[in-house]
Amino acid sequence: MSTNRFLHFYRIPMFGLLALSWLVAACNVSKHLPEGELLYTGADLEIVQEEPVKKIKAVREELQGLLRPKPNNKILGQYLGLWAYFNMQKDHPGFINRFIYKKLGEEPVYFSQVQPEKTKELLLNRLDNNGFFYAEVVSTSSRTNKKADISYRVTLPAPYILRDYHYERDSLPIDKHLKELLPGSKIEKGDRFSLDEMKAERERLNTALKNRGFYNFNPDYLIFEADTNQYQGREFDLYLRLKETVPEEGILPYQIRSIRVFPNYSLDEYGPGTDTTRVEGVEFIQEQFSFKPELLRQYLLIEKGGLFDSQQSRLTSNRLSGIGNYRFVNIRYTEVAGEKEGENGLLDAKVYLSPLDKRSIRAELQGISKSNNFAGPALLLNYRNRNLFYGGETFNLTGKIAYESQIASGAREGLNAFEFGLKGDLIFPRVVFPIPIKERFAYSVPKTKISLGSEYQDRRDLYRLNSISASYGYFWNANRFVYHEITPISLNFVNLSNTSAEFEEILDNNPFLRQSFEQQFIAGITYNYAFNKLMDKYRTHSVYVGVNMDLAGFGLRFANNVFNGSDPNTFLGFTFAQYNKGDVDFRYYLRFTEEKLLALRLFGGAGLPYGNSVSLPFVKQYFSGGPNSVRAFRIRSLGPGSFRPDSESTANFFDQAGDVRLEGNLEFRFPIFSYLKGAVFADAGNVWLINENEALPGGKLGKDWYRELGIGAGLGLRIDIEFFVLRFDLATPLRRPYREEGQRWERDFRLGDSDWRKENFIFNFAIGYPF
């Protein structure tokens, strides 16, 4: 959603003069330094190796991180933070001075704060931890023009290398498990001595043992011993041992004696009359009946009589939370004092489930603004019932009323619209299928979704559109990063009515468009896949891959052939669409810091009409331009191909669509202060047709498709308050594919011309990041 705006600019020479003056002032910070103080400009690290060392880059980065203190930051080679610190402190500072001082000011770092001897101790300690025993560190400093820096020269001896890794005891039950787990270690022969690897190994063994019943085990119970006496060179054997002070319960495996589930924990009062139901060895205790025990049992992976398993316990908690009915899920284990089952200790497990409110109603009033100069209000009403049939089922009923109208004058007329929609969803937190299916997904439970909806749209003075949709499918998370959704039944019926003479003329001029509206019945299968690691802000490299497939019409054609339909292109008297459509959305984040990153997006999608279809149905076609696409072009104003409409008319809204869409976006995001973020971006893309359409010359995809890309660039501001993002983007076209060859690149940027700015600057307003 976006809209065009008239922008005012200062004269460029004056702006340049101010910027130059500011930079010159920012350079001159030395005069503000106190007498006898030197500005600390940083430290250099030089590493000298007696012999080549593996993974030396990681060692260098680790040592570099120990150099303290960190010097003042530079921006474009200048100490702008210091300039703000020294120059914005006044006796009676105004609002602007206080603001700049608070947001940009940076306290100076003096050379007197540097402690070389302490830093050398840290470096030597870290080198010992990495196997470089008896290393040498020498520091030197230099002073020039009231500034000083320091250099550290590190001489690395040959590191100690691992020969063998052992665990020798076998008298206790836990000894057998440790021996079995040792081959899975990442500590291998030939590795350099590494304290961090040993700590990671202890954590790995602790996790594995807790999955084997050792409920009270702690990684501190393990100790490593290095033996260098057997070798003359810098080699060692590593021994893993249990500490002598380990308590008995710490190395004892535990077995689950009983499992009790409280499905309505926050509301029930558990007295003598509380109802208890036993299902497959599990007791379900509820005063007020709230969940069918035989269904809730399916979510439990922990078993009575089985060994304690921390992973199964965690996955059980995930599965119960995934039902969507519970605010809190808490699994507690209690040791049974003085009792054993053979050599195993005993645990009682209790599962406490605190439910959410069963019913809720939400109203949402929206203000919608689009870059095609239309805006209007929308009202959404949602009713939700959780646990509808006492099996975790969720019923959602959503109603929508919306109106949009043209708010700016122009050649387009008649696109005011009224919209009314009603949709119901019923979600079962399990697989619902005619034949019973026992799901085997440990991470989360697949859910079944049944949807039915209807929508009425009145595009004033053009047409009315009634649609009914229904679907039946499944969705689930395979793990924390992977999501699947498959809808084997997807039906959509569209009825076009009350078409005006103006709209009939549009359809007569474009037979493809007429058929895309007349294909009233869409039936097929859809599948969506997503692999998403973008949410992890600590990752330097993050990737998202989304794949969507939509196959329609082949089932109806088959049904017609089986039942000898008189017209193979209709089903029950309705024309149906036939196409195969798929697209891939790839995103990559390169994070320099948590808030500073380079974001890349590549999108490719194609729909192949066949049989009785020469183009995709209108609701399935691709569009280009707008706040989440190529932002230098208004929504739905780019393409197809090199097509250029004769004028900005009502027809353009429908014509500029395609069967193929290719786009690329590159955006650099950076913080400005607090919740305000900035962005610099460039976008490229277009849509094309699969088949030639005489009404849209130049719209078909050809071998020179790359010459028909629309390209734009711009700047953006975002108000990011974590759970909500307001986005403002200002962009201008750099390449227009609808111009004649040789004239498509923009060469004349008349920033001082108000008419040029009005025509070429596109302002986009949207909620959320574009990708």
- Are 294 and 239 members of one domain? no
pLDDT score of 7: 35
Residues 141 and 149: beta-carbon distance below 8 Å: yes
- Are 210 and 145 members of one domain? no
- Are 174 and 302 members of one domain? no
- Are 138 and 30 members of one domain? yes
694, part of any domain? no
User: How many structural domains compose the chain?
Assistant: 4
Residue 761 CB partners (closer than 8 Å, separation 6+):
4, 5, 7, 730, 731, 732
The DSSP secondary-structure symbol of 29 reads -
- Are 414 and 323 members of one domain? no
Number of H helices and E strands in the chain, helices first, is 14, 29
Question: What confidence category does residue 13 fall into, taking pLDDT thresholds of 50, 70 and 90?
Answer: very low
Is the pLDDT assigned to residue 212 strictly greater than 80? yes
Over residues 444-472, mean pLDDT: 90
Residues 626 and 609: beta-carbon distance below 8 Å: no
d(CA 226, CA 210): 26
- Are 326 and 385 members of one domain? no
Residue 428 CB partners (closer than 8 Å, separation 6+):
391, 392, 393, 447, 448, 449, 450
532, part of any domain? no
Strand partners, 521: 493, 576
Summarize pLDDT for 61-103 with one digit per residue, the tens. Answer: 999 999 989 998 887 677 888 888 887 776 666 777 777 777 7
- Are 384 and 414 members of one domain? yes
- Are 313 and 274 members of one domain? yes
756, part of any domain? no
Percent of the chain exceeding pLDDT 90 equals 52
- Are 293 and 200 members of one domain? no
Summarize pLDDT for 599-622 with one digit per residue, the tens. Answer: 999 999 999 988 878 888 888 889
560, part of any domain? no
57, part of any domain? yes
Summarize pLDDT for 353-381 with one digit per residue, the tens. Answer: 999 999 999 998 876 655 455 667 889 99
d(CA 371, CA 369): 7
CATH value at residue 182: 3.10.20.310
Domain boundary among 432, 452, 469: 469
Alpha helices in 288-341 (DSSP H): 293-296, 310-322
138, part of any domain? yes
- Are 20 and 132 members of one domain? yes
Containing domain of residue 312, as a range? 254-355
Over residues 276-286, mean pLDDT: 92
Average of per-residue pLDDT values in the chain = 86
Summarize pLDDT for 559-603 with one digit per residue, the tens. Answer: 776 665 566 667 776 778 889 999 999 999 999 888 889 999 999
What b/e sequence results for 694-703 when a residue is b if at least 16 CB atoms lie within 10 Å of its CB, and e otherwise?
A: ebbebbbbee
- Residue 714's nearest CA partner among 670, 745, 735, 683 is 683
Residues 590 and 597: beta-carbon distance below 8 Å: yes
- Are 345 and 419 members of one domain? no
26, part of any domain? yes
Stretch (H or E) spanning 225: strand 222-227
714, part of any domain? no
Complete edge-to-edge strand list for the sheet that includes strand 136-144 = 39-49, 147-156, 136-144
Domain boundary among 219, 251, 283: 251
Domain boundary among 251, 277, 298: 251
Sign of the C-alpha dihedral computed for residues 761, 764, 769 and 771 taken in this order: negative
Is the pLDDT assigned to residue 205 strictly greater than 80? yes
- Are 39 and 57 members of one domain? yes
